[in-house]
Amino acid sequence: MEIGILGGGIAGLSVALALRKRGYHPRVYERRAGPATMGAGVTLWPNASFVLEELGLLQDIQAVGGRPLTMRRQDAAGNALGGLDIGLLDRTMGYPTYTVLRRHLQQVLLHHAARAGIPVAFGHRAVSIELDAHGRAVAHFEHGASIRPDLLIGADGRMTSVARKFVAGDNTPIYQGFVNWIGVAQGPHALVDDMSIRDFWGAGQRFGCVPVRPELVYWAAAQARPLHGATPAAGMRQEVEKLFAGWPDPVSRLIRATPENAIRLIAVHDLEPLHTWSRANVLLVGDAAHAPLPTSGQGACQALEDAWHLARCLDGASGGLDELFQAFAKLRAPKTARLAEQGRVFARGLFATDPETCRIRDERAKASDPVRDVQALAAGWGQGLPMPGGADSMPAEDGGAGSLYRIE
Ligand SMILES: Cc1cc2nc3c(=O)[nH]c(=O)nc-3n(C[C@H](O)[C@H](O)[C@H](O)COP(=O)(O)OP(=O)(O)OC[C@H]3O[C@@H](n4cnc5c(N)ncnc54)[C@H](O)[C@@H]3O)c2cc1C
């Protein structure tokens, strides 16, 4: 079977690797001229590490990634608001969490794709998909070439997916009322005291710092603002520094340790759950199918999960592509829709500007039970995967609490 994949991001490359492992010969078509060098980083939670291990990539991720053991929350004045015991989450789910720069993750994926003999055609921007006389999809590229594989996988991301337009019509991403400035700070010496992820909450503002190493830290500064105020302008570093002046250490230090040209402004959009992820012989995966807000922390992790599930569904599908697409959507749609909704709910609280709402939000965060938080995350993120701590691994009689204390 000929398989073409539009998009060489996290979803496209991981799907290609998962399919190659099962004996298929996918080809990847990426619009960029070469590997991406921009973007900050991603946190790969244990469910992502499970997939990376299955794909044989986890050792390489470990070599370039950081290993955070806690996430500490504070308000803008420095008062503690609790946090997350990542070490306990990792032990509960049986896999480690890694923080990694996006370009390093991409390098690892591309390196393994090259080793597996997967052709990645850069400079191939898909501009449209149409059906031929036999009802098979043909993808056309900007420079005039076209492909007509047996299975066409749309992994062309969140904002302008050509594949999503073909499958679901005019389903445009929705601006969720806040912007992110993302950056990577690098210093000759340590910029942070330890490897904790730090999360600072203000009124309508948030700052998150994620160390990969003590001297290499990616960050995201966020602010609620209308879409018309979400255009990048010169002097972004100064603007962010001013907006977060007076916030606790190490916020200002990180902003100052980031070159202006390493800061990017993103108007943050997500997707309504689609009514379908497939049409004819085209299937959507990753952000093209289900792009959650970054506040879900799970976009890349879910793209990786798609790869793992799709390869297994393809193996099991004796009844053709329709059966494959249905099996895949049945497995993936409920979980991705739930995570997208959780990302929205969390964002509403985070970007509230009313002082009373912020006070209640902070009190709730402070009062939350760290063990139950880990339990809930492990159940939600592990769902559908054969890993400890996930909802599927829980004995029915104790509602799942029994798996919490599993230490491996
Ligand atoms: C600020 C921010 C922070 C985030 N942090 C995290 C995190 O900590 N953890 C996490 O799990 N997720 C995180 N995410 C989400 C995560 O980045 C995405 O969910 C993930 O990148 C999705 O992978 P993808 O391959 O589907 O899309 P992408 O990574 O966007 O890749 C799509 C690829 O398709 C290519 N492409 C696009 N259009 C075409 C076309 N027409 N023809 C050919 N190629 C095309 C693009 O160039 C790109 O290479 C974050 C997102 C943001 C915005």
Cα 342 to ligand 1 centroid, rounded to whole Å:
19
Query: How much distance in Å is there from the Cα of 13 to the middle of ligand 1?
Result: 11
Give the distance (Å) from ligand 1 centre to CA of residue 152: 18
Average pLDDT over residues 2-22: 98
Distance 9 CA to ligand 1 centre (A): 6
pLDDT at 402: 30
Task: Say what the pLDDT of residue 396 is.
Answer: 37
Q: Which of 29, 31, 263 to mutate to test the pocket of ligand 1 (most atoms within 8 A of CB)?
A: 31
For residue 382, the CA-to-ligand 1 centroid distance in Å is 21
Measure the CA–CA gap between 227 and 237, rounded to whole angstroms.
Answer: 20
Cα dihedral value 292, 58, 387, 401, nearest 10: -80
pTM, to two decimals = 0.94
Residue 156 has pLDDT above 90, yes or no: yes
* Calpha distance 244→207 (Å, rounded): 8
What is the DSSP code string of 43-93? Answer: EE-HHHHHHHHHTT-HHHHHHH-B---EEEEEETT--EEEEEEHHHHHHHH
Question: Does residue 393 carry a pLDDT above 70?
Answer: no
Q: Whose CA is nearest to atom 17 of ligand 1?
A: 300
Q: Kindly report, residue by residue over 30-77, the tens digit of the pLDDT.
A: 999 999 877 899 999 999 999 999 999 999 999 999 999 999 999 999
What residues line ligand 1, using a CB cutoff of 6 Å? 6-12, 29-32, 42-43, 124-126, 155-158, 160, 162, 180, 182, 220, 266, 286-288, 294, 297-301, 303
User: What is the residue extent of each domain of the chain?
Assistant: 2-173+271-397
Whether the CB-CB separation of 64 and 100 falls below 8 Å is answered with yes
Nearest to 336 by CA among 268, 273, 269: 273
Query: Could you tell me the distance, in angstroms and rounded to a whole number, from the CA of residue 371 to the centre of ligand 1?
Result: 31
Percent of the chain with pLDDT over 90: 89
Q: Going by CA atoms, what residue is nearest to atom 7 of ligand 1?
A: 42
Sequence-distant (6+) residues with CB within 8 A of 348 are none
> Which residue's CA lies nearest to atom 3 of ligand 1?
294
- Residue 392: band (very low, low, confident or very high) from pLDDT cuts 50, 70, 90: low
CA of 401 to the centre of ligand 1 (A): 34
Mean pLDDT in the chain? 93
Q: For 352-366, what is each residue's pLDDT tens digit?
A: 999 999 999 999 999
What's the pLDDT band for 390 if we cut at 50, 70, 90?
low
Q: What's the average model confidence in pLDDT over 377-395?
A: 81
Give 294's contacts (C-beta < 8 A, 6+ positions apart). Answer: 180, 220, 268, 343
**Is it the case that residue 271 has pLDDT exceeding 60?**
yes
Overall fold of domain 2-173+271-397: FAD/NAD(P)-binding domain (3.50.50)
Cα(141) to centroid of ligand 1, in Å?
20
Atom in ligand 1 nearest the alpha carbon of residue 14 = 25
CB 277, CB 328: distance < 8 Å: yes
| 309-357 confidence digits (pLDDT tens) | 999 999 877 889 999 999 999 999 999 999 999 999 999 999 999 999 9
Closest residue by Cα to atom 27, ligand 1, is 157
Helix, strand and coil in the chain, % to nearest 5: 40, 25, 35
Q: How many CB atoms lie within 10 A of CB 129?
A: 22
Reported as a single tens digit per residue, the pLDDT across 166-188 is 999 978 899 999 999 999 999 99
